[in-house]
Chain A
Amino acid sequence: MLVFAASDKGGTGRSVTSCNVVYRSALTGSDVCYLDFDFGSPTAGSIFQITDAQRGVRQGGLHSYLLEPDIQTTGEPQRIDVWTQSSRASLRQRPPGSGKLMLFPGDQDGGEFGPDKEALRRCVQLLQALDEEFDMCLIDLSAGRSYATQLVLEATADPALRGVAARWLVFHRWTRQHIPAAAGLVYGKDGILDAGVRAGHDKDRLQSAIKFVRTAVVDPDSIELSGLRPAQVAWLRDCDEDLRRIAALHQVGRRAMLGTVPLDPVLQWREQLISDNDVVARDIANNATVDAFDELARKIQDDEGWAEP
């Protein structure tokens, strides 16, 4: 299964949430990989805490795989086994029964690029090969209407990938600006649906494969907010109600939503994987955050939520 992570704006927590979802899936025994298609800023290495690939790898990453086929003599991009390469001790102990957890990094100093036909062909070949090996491949895309998004829309329309399940997660913060922006990325002019149809996708089928993920959501009823004054809680409730209305108006309402990720300081400031250790032993991250990741990981793979209308 291919899972594409998109967002209209930066700073939505798309990458950090995606990394955590991939990590939680691996813990449950799925073989998973994470492809850093955030070509303008390939920094997934830092989230997985891979010392040598904080901002991409020096050579053989996804940029050179896609753009410099002549140089890459193996026809395969570089991969990093997170279980063995992470500098974080709690990650290096691969739990029994867990699946593969592989990172495909970008190149250091790589930039956004206009993909040519050859890049498209290579992208198709890569997704094909990874689909043979992994239960889930998560492809983290550059924010906005990006070349990366266009590339994968064209790749998934290729006959060679027909029959491979492809699902889209569109991340947005739970705010008045972010909700319409996310809707615009999907439904707007030259958005994912528009570009997808141009690439050869069926509009309804593509739309049914796109779900929204709300990030940095403040839940007025959560225990963390139990210290607030009643007036503050009431205000939060009003805001939340307002946002729900806006979301429904923009077709980003409950039916199109896959899940929510609560506001968590560890995610905001450190942008890293949250291990069980962070929640239980160190007590710095919230249990609800990890629950949200688990829930997302489960729902992504659950066919029922993705049925065509």
Chain B
Amino acid sequence: MVLVLGEVMTAALRHSGGMPRERVEDALGLLAGERVRISERPIGYAVSPKTFTGVDCRILARSGAKVRGVGTLMGRACLTGGRVLQSSAVARIDPVGGGYRRAWSHYLARLGVVEALGRTDLPGTAAAHLAADRSSSTMGMGAFCVRLLSEIQGSPVLDKSTPVRARRTVLRWAALIDERNEGVRVRFAVREDGLRTVRLVLGPAEIDDIVDLCEDLALHDWLLTALMSVIEQSQIGVEQPAQSVLKLRPAVDHLLHLWMPAARLGGVALSVWEGLESRPGLSRQWDASVRRVRDQMAMAAALSSSRPPESARFFR
């Protein structure tokens, strides 16, 4: 059995408009001498080179016992649709015999692996990772994500104006890979404080694909959270429709076109998304929210059509 732990942090890019390719390369170029990979279809997507940070810390298992973990976390950042920025921290946990730490070069020959020194219960470690609340994060993955995200958000190529105000969300995930597993089982949970957890149990899979999948889940969860918050702020039914529409506008400009579950992904990701569509039904909720926004805009347009033209300028 193989255990991979990860954390994804999602935020709106601090930039008001679209960005040309070179700017995106500048912003996401976390590592000198390594390329930012960019694709345009089916949705604009750019991913930074991988970066690594060393850890030597306690890892919690469910029993309450702790083991020492030594190795490196892999970190990377990606930008979707030129709007949504994410950073990820990932590590595979390898239990090893012997309770002593090796020379550091040993760990750099196994990038992205944290060796757990001592007896380790992998499902227990996964459970502890997912059970923690937002105020603590396994091996400091959260802080690593914050650091990567902040580095990009502070980039001089960004104009620092955020189109949609929203709290950064955190999605923690654990994947238990076992060759005896067939298919994939997924458990997605929405916790308080903008925290989400995903537990995956699956057969042989590439870790890169799992990271892609979890970032995709975090992206869509963030979109849904941000859209619902915009709708709430717009006070539909309390405010005048024209006022509500003003507040809904950022969602229309920046969010609505980004919903494309598993657009770039295949295999495992598709079957996970299929599972999530029946329960909790993310796309159903998204579609309903989008309809609500569109209805509100249509109504505001209808009401304003009888008025002088300047009040209709929001709809251009």
Contacts and interface: CB of A to CB of B under 8 A. Distances in A.
Q: Indicate yes or no for A touching B, C-beta below 8 A.
A: yes
B46 interface: no
Interface string B164-204: 01111010000000000000000000000000000000000
Given A29-B233, A73-B136, A97-B235, A131 B162 contact: yes
B147 interface: yes
Contact of A96 (B145, B160, B166, B238): B238
A264 interface: no
Interface in B1-54: 11-12, 14
A134 interface: yes
A125 interface: yes
Contacts of B166: 132-133
A76 B154 contact: no
A73 B134 CA distance: 10
Contacts of B170: 74
- Name the interface size band of chain B: 35 or more
Contact of A129 (B135, B144, B168): B168
Could you say which of A74, A125, A160 has the most chain B C-beta atoms within 10 Å of its C-beta? Answer: A74
Contacts of A69: 143
B153 interface: yes
Could you say which of B159, B165, B168 has the most chain A C-beta atoms within 10 Å of its C-beta? Answer: B165
B160 A164 contact: yes
A10 interface: no
Interface string A66-85: 00010011111010000000
Given A73-B137, A76-B142, A132-B11, A125 B168 contact: no
Nearest to B164: A132
A161 interface: yes
B165 A96 contact: no
A125 B150 contact: yes
Given A125-B150, A163-B159, A75 B168 contact: no
A161 B145 CA distance: 19
- Name the interface size band of chain A: 20 to 34
Given A74-B146, A163-B160, A135 B165 contact: yes
A74 B235 contact: no
Given A73-B143, A74-B142, A129 B134 contact: no
Contacts of B154: 124, 128, 158-161
Nearest to A60: B135
A57 B155 CA distance: 33
A131 B238 CA distance: 27
B140 interface: yes
Interface string B122-141: 00000000000011111111
Contacts of B167: 132-133
A162 B238 contact: no
Interface of B: 11-12, 14, 134-147, 149-150, 153-156, 159-162, 165-168, 170, 233, 235, 238-239
Nearest first, the 6 A-B pairs at minimum CB distance are A160-B154, A75-B146, A75-B143, A163-B160, A74-B142, A125-B150
Given A74-B136, A74-B137, A75-B146, 16 more contacts: A31-B165, A60-B135, A74-B135, A74-B142, A74-B143, A74-B170, A97-B235, A97-B238, A124-B150, A124-B154, A125-B146, A129-B149, A131-B14, A132-B14, A132-B165, A160-B154
